[in-house]
Structure 1
Amino acid sequence: MTLSATAEALDSLEEYEDITTWMNDTLTASGSEKDLESLIVLDQQITQLIASLDIACEDTSSQLERTIDDVSRGIPRLTYDLHFIKDSALSLQNSLTTVQTRSRAAVPDTTASALEQLKRLDTMKGHMEAAREVLREAESWSTLELEVTSMLAERNYAKAASRLSEANKSMVVFQNTPEYDPRRTLLVNLQNQLEASLSSALVAAINEQNLDTCRSYFYIFSNIQRELEFRNYYYGSRRASLTAMWHEVDLSDTAPEGKTSLGQTFSDFLPKFYASMLALLNQERTSIPAIFPDPVHTLSAFISSILSALQPTFSQRLVSLSSYYADLALKELIVVFRVTEEFAVGVAKLMEKIQYSAVPPSLSDNSNTSDSVALTHPTHNRKRSMRMSISFRSGTNRSTSGGQKIPSLADGLDWDQELFHPFLEFQVNYGSLERRLLDHALREIVSNDSRQKAFGSDQARIFRERAVDIFGVAEESLVRYAAFTHGYGSASLLQALDGFLKSFIDMWTADVSFTSSGPHSARQDTESEDLSGLDYTSQDWLNIQTMLHLLGSARSVYERMISFEVKLRSNLAQTATKFRLHRGDPTSFPITNSKGVEQILEQSSLNSADLHALLDKVDLDPSHSRETSLRHQGTASYNPGEILLTDARSAMFDFAKACQSSLQGTILSPLRQQLVSYASSSIWATTAEESRNTTFNDLQVPTFSLSPSDIIQRVTEGLLNLPRLFEVYADDDALSFSLQTLPYADPELLKNVPEVFVPDAPSHSRRHSIAKPANLDPETVSTAWLSSLGQSLLAHLTTEVLPRISRLNTGGAAQLASDLGYLSNVIRVLNVESEELEQWKEYVELKDDAGKVKVNTKNDEDRVLNHVARMRGWKYLTVSTL
């Protein structure tokens, strides 16, 4: 039932007083099976909703009754409790008043005065001590610059850091006072001087891997709130060799635009770079725990700093790589991606090892400096103060304005996400990359066919051979989508494969020469001597053989497509199982070896509803299939056997239909050639006397006994000889392929044909099967073809030939009626009936008076009657269908 019909039915409800009467009238009005089925489904859904509503009402009623009982029992008790609390409060108030009165009476006035004086003196003492602290801080700040400068001159960095730390703590005293900003500026300047004094020595210690010195410097930097600056110094110094290696390498496939290079390829260089990087990280596995208190987080930040410092960036290199290889970019990207995954696995193992590293020495142990002081380890959650650091700002972890916190291990490790994030753009566009690669392979495969076609090679054989190459290329994509997207590109893969196979078949549909017989040659071939009315030429027989071979090739390619689709479904089913297990237990069943890749892909647009709908459709788990089918109820019909390559199959049947049409055109060409002059024959305009047949004693033979014309006799002879033609090809499987696409195929004859994909049917009524084409009974195949040929010839006669008759008098009408009647009787031998042919015969046989009456009473949209009326002169019509 459509939306408009539903709206009208609801509007009509206002006209009824009884709902039962309205339902009966509505059900009677909508008598179609589809409407009744929709109502049945609606009734089932309403029944389920009513049952659910009844259960919910009962549960709600029970809960409401229990709540009312609890409240009813609690209200009297609440009143008693409130009254008791009130009495207790009044009693306590009276007791406190009595105690206060007695206490005042017990203490003499002199004692009370002394206590009041002591209280005043204690307050004064507190104020004086606070003032003394302020004065000490002021005195300390007055000498701060001189003390710190002298300590820096003496290279007493630890004491200078301790002094600046104390000064930073005292900043709270000057909060919200005019003194705050000048003192903050002084503190930052002194911190910058300390950092500048240590920077060169720090870089030297880092390069020399003097771990004790680096550790002591780390404590100093932490004491002056410059921990991130220390990390930047450390990361920048340690990664210098790697960034130089990346920047200075000469690559042939990622060179800047306009610059050519003969160096190594990026896929050859990247494993070497990763090997050097992994070697450096293994060194840091022992160095970082001796310096930093959070070795795992520090190593992760170090990896991120290396990746962010690369120039050109990793993303830019990948873009250049994609641009250089163009259609073949996906292959190179997969090589690079796999190398990166192997590197990530190695780093993950290293991260696991570093977690077991020994805890670094206590931060209070700073024996390298003669004037060491006890330092408190800085927390990673310390808020940073406003300052202007002179340290260089390379890397992603940079100190910023106040309020920023140094990332801790609890914040998670993101090195692997930064490592794989440059690939995300290409993974999201996997479908287009895969299609470009497939189309490139298609162009290379078919480019070898042009010369062979030019020399008239066997096109059917070439079609089968190229199909082997095409499906081989398609199978390679099953490995690529898993390697590059770990299954998240399943929907994109299916779309690319479907379009790729369709392009291949469409290319053959357009390029293969589907030629019907040209101007019919008068020279009859010797093979046609025993087929009266079917005088085929040698070219006709060649065309018939060519089309049969192409149909056979189409059948072979279709069977290969079915086999490939089974393999594709099996591959996707494995992916669906992997995803289903991952949803149930992500830890035990990871989709990838790297959490970074998994998180990036899971949060990308590849993880779409289309992906999960496809995986649900191909999942082989019975219980999951049942859940999926229940989930799809009420929204769309779920068919676990639904085909995957819909466009490719449709193109395959279009190819078969083109072959069938060409073959039919060749088979019917002699008969159509006979009908070329039929409409312009002079017999249609003969007078009544001339239309008489041979007479005896002036007795006119009735028109119904007229003999058929010579043209119709030759056409019918050819039709009757068509079964003999098909006896020659009765055992050819090519004729049985795709019978449903035969022009004017008889649905009754196709009822017993196994279910196949019907490309022209609506999506909701298509028949699907993944089985290979069945070998049908030769008699069934011949019957279907003969019926189709007969219908095609009659359609040509009734739509192309007969409407071209310009004038039809009484005698001509009698002759035409005789021809059509004879043709109708003959065509039934081929199990062919044509309602339009019978209409032509009926209207042509009408007398003038009856015809004029019929024209006046009949609908003007009757195309056949309009044609006959024009020919007979019953009335002049100007109809667009003429």
Structure 2
Amino acid sequence: MSFPTSTEALDSLEEYEDVTTWINETLIAPGSEKDIESLVDLDQQITQLIASLDIACEDTSSQLERTIADVSRGIPRLTYDLHFIKDSALSLQTSLATVHARSRAAIPDSTASALEQLKRLDTTKSHMEAAREVLREAESWSTLELEVTSMLAERNYAKAASRLSEANKSMVVFQNTSEYDPRRTLLVNLQNQLEASLSSALVAAINEQNLETCRSYFYIFSNIQRELEFRNYYYGSRRVSLTSMWLEADISDTAPEGKTASGQTFSEFLPKFYVNVLALLDQERSSIPAIFPDPAHTLSAFISSILSALQPTFSQRLTSLSSYYGDLTLKELIAVFKLTEEFAVGVAKIMDKIQYSAATPSLLDKSNSNDPPNHPTHSRKRSMRMSISFRSGTNRSISGGQKIPSLADGLDWDQELFHPFLQFQVDYGSLERRFLDHALREIVSNETRPKVSGSDQARIFRERAVDIFAAAEESLTRYTEFTHGYGSTSLLQALDGFLKSFVDMWTADISFASSGSHSTLQDAGSEDLSGLDYTSRDWSNIQSILHLLSSARSVYERMTSFEVKLRSSLAQTASKFRLHRGDPTAFPIINSRGSEQILEQSSLNSADLHALLDKVDVDPSQNRENFLRTQGITGSTFGEPLLVDARSAMFDFAKACQISLQGTILSPLRQQLASYASSSIWLTTGEDSRNTTFSDLQVPTFSLSPSEIIQRVTEGLLNLPRLFEVYADDDALSFSLQTLPFADPELLRNAPDASVPDVPSHTRRHSITRTTTLDPETVSTAWLSSLGQSLLAHLTAEILPRINRLNAGGAAQLASDLGYLSNVIRVINVESDELEQWKEYVELNDEAGKTKVNTQNNEDHVLNVVARIRGWK
């Protein structure tokens, strides 16, 4: 097998734009129909090719170095050469001035006088000839009306147009004179007569598609500076079938208010309308180049004229569509928008074809050899006069407000096409939220949430969460279809609010009372829990709330999973935007240039959008570790959460469940404490009788036994750990421990395998990670601490302040109760500063108490309450 020589291979490299293609073809022997069969031959050829490339690189490098060296040597010389040229030019200028002065001095005075006289005569002749031409132009105006009228009568329209064009050029003669306005009015009237004579024939020629006649009329209209009026005639005649189809369509969901329609929907009608538009544009692709010198811009203007002539307008139809569908508007808008994008693709293909064909000579170009040299093909001025084509109706002229793009404008037909959608795209966030809220109402209306069976509520909560997140996932497609990613921030806000609303509904529905009518009969399940005489209803409530907490854990994990999908979708959008910023041509965000410009210039393209996309974007040029480090992400997390309000709502739901569960668990103990404040022990003690017998003798006070109520309460507290042994393996208790009332931050921070978020605060950051199960001992400790703190808070804030009067003996008994309770509560790792304050202040005698009240400020709430019930104030 023979291989191409190194010289041949390197010489052929210049013929290829793609190096890969050159390598593939070079590695195949010329004339061979099969690839190289032997790996040894392939290796030999690759080695030879590499060696050739190395030699060529060395040669190129050497030549480049020599060139650089030559240039480096020549640059200093160049400065000297420029300076030398400058000096030479100044010397030449001085020499020329000297020669000129000598030549003038050498001419005799008589000769110089004769030359000056000849110069004056030549100037006078030029001025007289110019005046003669002006007088001829002025004289021609006296016969202008008669000449043009006779030409119109003879239907010699081309000559009449040429005559009017010449007259228009001579108008400059009368500028700033009293003759200007009358002659200008005459010229406009004659132009109107010519246009009126041609209008019927022009419309007939356009309808018959007589291209030769249309082209000649275009030349005539251009000659009298009325090209735009010709275009209006052409556009109006060609689009009439489409505007009639649009106007007469019987559309059920865009009918005007007060009018009923039973026809097709707008999304069913629109494809048919677009098909007819594409068919007409395909015809015009052949017709327009034969008439107009700028076919691409003309076709673009024709499309814009079709869209602007529609009655009712496209925007009005979309507004009616929005009113008809209400909350479901977004779905219909996306359907219409996608149809419009498909139509835009079809139009773009036609535009590409007409632009490519514009490079070949058209019928107009071939016949322009006979046209006058001043035929307006590239720049035209709008005639500043009233035209008879200024009329109302579907034929909208320039004076009527229709925009005809000039040749300098871009092909902006797609901006006219997509602009009606902009107001809805800008309002995408509210449309998406309305759509999601409607889905939420539909999901909720299909459910029957029982008020008694909490297990059924937990099941329904999980089932409805499946439907809710399925609805949320559908929005990931809608925001890309309708806004092409520009609505990312609006999507995030809508989803966050939607999921929060769903969770808040369930939070509000947690209505499990902590056994409103507590039975005095202990349930069988409470036989081993002294002091915790739970009824069957209590046990049912506990079980139901645990089911809800378990469901909350499942829903939260589903939320984090959805958030990963959301982040992935936003990351894809961010990657598309990043590539677009680097190379807009190769990586367009939208295939339609006009639609892209509209969205880029809208309020959707905000700083918040780019901040969000920068936050979720993963640049492939960075390795994962560097990216995570720059974003402040560690471990298995994926950055800050996106659904902040939804996550907060989930924790609020968990907190509501925890509060309800604590209320049920503590209900027996709270019932025991209900009569504590009104107990008679605060005033009836043995101290009074002792004071009567030994009025002056101070009897030592021994430690008092705790009251019966406090003994039963402490027994219940000591049996709480046994209660949690029953639910030790239940993962529901470990969910969202940070929201437990009076949760111990230090305990949660040091908990092994803890994956719950930090204690809530205004600066809290949650990690997006799957929740894991804490060890049962940590969970039990956290719950016991929370229960103890809750009971103590109930005691110190609601029970003790209700004691009306406390004498010295009652104070001693209360101090004994509080001391006993403080010792017992430490068994379950609970301490209360407020409880210790109560004990400290209650133990004071009257003299010490009054002194402390007088020396302390009034901000000590506990001291103020104790002073009131002890009578120190």
Tell me whether the two structures share a fold, i.e. TM-score over 0.5. yes
Aligned counterparts of 2:830 and 2:192: Cα–Cα separation in 1: 101
Q: CA deviation at 1:701?
A: 8.8
SS, match of residue 325 in structure 1: helix
d(CA) in 2 for partners of 1:706 and 1:451? 53
| Distance in structure 1 (CA, Å) of the matches to 2:368 and 2:713 | 113
2:862 is the alignment partner of 1:860: no
Once the two structures are superposed, what CA deviation does each residue of 1:616-669 show, in whole Å capped at 9, x if it has no partner? 111122657999999999xxxxx9610000000000000000000010001000
Choose which of 781, 784, 787 in structure 1 pairs with 2:785. 787
- 2:458 is aligned to 460
Q: Report the residue type matching 2:144 in the other structure.
A: L
Shift of 1:524: 2.0
Query: Does the Cα contact within 8 Å between 2:510 and 2:656 map onto a contact in 1?
Result: no
Match of 1:617 among 594, 598, 615: 615
- State the AA in 2 paired with 1:802: L
Alpha-carbon distance between aligned partners in 2 of 1:728 and 1:611, rounded to the nearest angstrom = 51
Aligned residues: 778
Offset of residue 362 of structure 1: 4.8
User: Which secondary structure state, in structure 2, belongs to the residue aligned with residue 474 of structure 1?
Assistant: helix
**Correspondence list, 1:122-141, <5 A:** 122-141=122-141
Identity %: 79
Residues 113 and 627 (structure 1 numbering): CA distance in 2 closer, same or farther, change over 3 Å?
farther
Aligned equivalent of 1:387, options 385, 388, 409: 385
Question: Partner of 2:805: helix, strand, or coil?
Answer: coil
Quote the offset at 1:308 in angstroms.
0.3
CA distance in 2, matches of 1:131, 1:207: 48
Tell me how far 1:742 sits from its aligned partner: 0.5
Q: Which secondary structure does the structure 1 equivalent of 2:158 belong to?
A: helix
1:413 aligns with 2:415: no
2:564 aligned partner = 566
**Letter aligned with residue 596 of structure 2:** E
Q: Deviations over 1:676-700 (max 9, x none)?
A: 111111111124536889x9xxx99
Contact 2:658/2:740 (CA < 8 Å) preserved in 1?
Answer: yes
Please state how far the C-alpha of 1:334 moved relative to its aligned partner: 0.0
Alignment partner of 1:265 is 2:279: no
Structure 2 Cα separation of the partners of residues 502 and 670 of structure 1: 34
Distance 1:491 1:557, change over 3 A: same
Residues 570-581 of structure 1 mapped to structure 2, 5 A cutoff: 570-581=568-579
Contact 2:289/2:364 (8 A) holds in 1: no
Alignment counterpart, residue 529 of structure 1, candidates 527, 530, 539: 527
Q: Measure how far apart 1:160 and its partner are.
A: 1.0
- Structure 1 counterpart of 2:162: 162
Conservation of the 8 A alpha-carbon contact between 1:704 and 1:818:
no
Range with greater deviation from structure 2 (295-304 or 442-451)? 442-451
> Is contact 2:454–2:547 with CA below 8 Å preserved after alignment?
no
1:193 and 1:709, CA in 2 relative to 1: closer, same or farther beyond 3 A? same
Q: 1:516 to 1:88 in 2, by over 3 A?
A: same
**Residues 306, 395 of structure 1: 8 Å contact kept:** no
CA distance in 2, matches of 1:315, 1:405: 17
- Mapped to 2, the partners of 1:284 and 1:362 lie a distance apart of 15
Distance 1:804 1:687 in 2: 20
Structure 2 vs 1, CA of residues 510 and 801 (structure 1 numbering), >3 Å: closer, same or farther? Answer: same
Contact 2:229 2:397 in 1 (8 A): yes
Secondary structure of residue in 1 paired with 2:639:
coil
CA contact (8 A) 1:243 1:310 kept: yes
CA RMSD of aligned residues (A): 3.1
* Paired position in structure 1 for 2:34: none
Deviation of the 1:97 alpha carbon: 5.7
Aligned partner of 1:752 among 733, 750, 753? 750
Distance 1:761 1:456, change over 3 A: closer
Distance of aligned partners of 1:413 and 1:801 in 2 relative to their CA distance in 1, 3 Å threshold: same
Q: Secondary structure at the match of 1:462?
A: helix
1:498–1:647 Cα contact (<8 Å) kept:
yes
Q: Does 1:843 align with 2:824?
A: no
> Which whole-Å CA distance do the structure 1 matches of 2:660 and 2:780 have between them?
17
Secondary structure of the structure 1 residue equivalent to 2:674: coil
Letter in 1 for 2:457: Q
Tell me what 1:63 maps to: none
Q: Unaligned stretches of 5+ in structure 2? A: 1-78
* C-alpha distance in structure 2 between counterparts of 1:687 and 1:866, whole Å: 24
- Equivalent pair of 2:290/2:364 in contact (CA under 8 Å): no
Q: Which amino acid aligns with 2:216?
A: S
SS at match of 1:705: coil
- Runs in 1 of length 4+ with deviation above 6 angstroms? 81-96, 394-397, 454-457, 624-633
- Give the Cα separation in 2 of the matches to 1:631 and 1:610: 19
The letter for the 2-side match of 1:506 is D
Q: Matched residues in 2 for 1:226 and 1:454: separation?
A: 83
CA deviations over 1:453-481 (Å, ceiling 9, x no partner): 58988111111111111000000000000
Partners of 2:283 and 2:625 in 1: CA distance: 55
Alignment of 1:673-692 (within 5 A): 673-689=671-687
Report the equivalent of 2:735: 737
Residue number among 658, 662, 668 corresponding to 1:660 in the alignment: 658
Shift of residue 240 of structure 1? 0.3
What amino acid maps onto 1:848 in structure 2? D
Could you list the runs of 5+ residues in structure 1 that have no partner in the other structure?
Answer: 1-73, 634-638, 877-882
- The Cα offsets for residues 58-87 of structure 1, whole Å up to 9 and x where unpaired, read as xxxxxxxxxxxxxxxx9xxx9xx9999999
Among residues 517, 535, 538, which one is paired with 2:536 in the alignment? 538
Contact 1:704 1:814 in 2 (8 A): no
> Equivalents in 1 of 2:544, 2:98: separation in Å?
119
CA distance in 2, matches of 1:712, 1:126: 128
Query: Structure 1 285/405 Cα, relative in aligned 2: closer, same or farther at 3 Å?
Result: closer
1:661 corresponds to which letter in structure 2?
A: I
Equivalent residue for 1:151? 151
What is aligned with 1:809? 807
Q: CA–CA distance in 1 between the matches of 2:91 and 2:241?
A: 84
Q: 1:359 aligns with which of 354, 358, 361?
A: 361
Give the direction of change, closer, same or farther, for the CA distance of 1:495–1:172 in structure 2 (3 Å limit). Answer: same
> SS of 1:674's equivalent?
helix
Pair 1:414–1:94, CA change in 2 (3 A) = closer
User: Closer, same or farther in 2 for the Cα pair 1:359/1:131, shift >3 Å?
Assistant: same
- Residues 88, 479 of structure 1: CA spacing in aligned structure 2 closer, same or farther, 3 A cutoff? closer
User: How far off its partner does 1:512 sit?
Assistant: 3.0
- After superposition, residues 55-74 of structure 1 pair within 5 angstroms as none
Q: How does 1:481-520 map to 2 (within 5 A)?
A: 481-520=479-518
1:69-218 aligned within 5 A: 99-103=103-107, 107=108, 109=110, 111-218=111-218
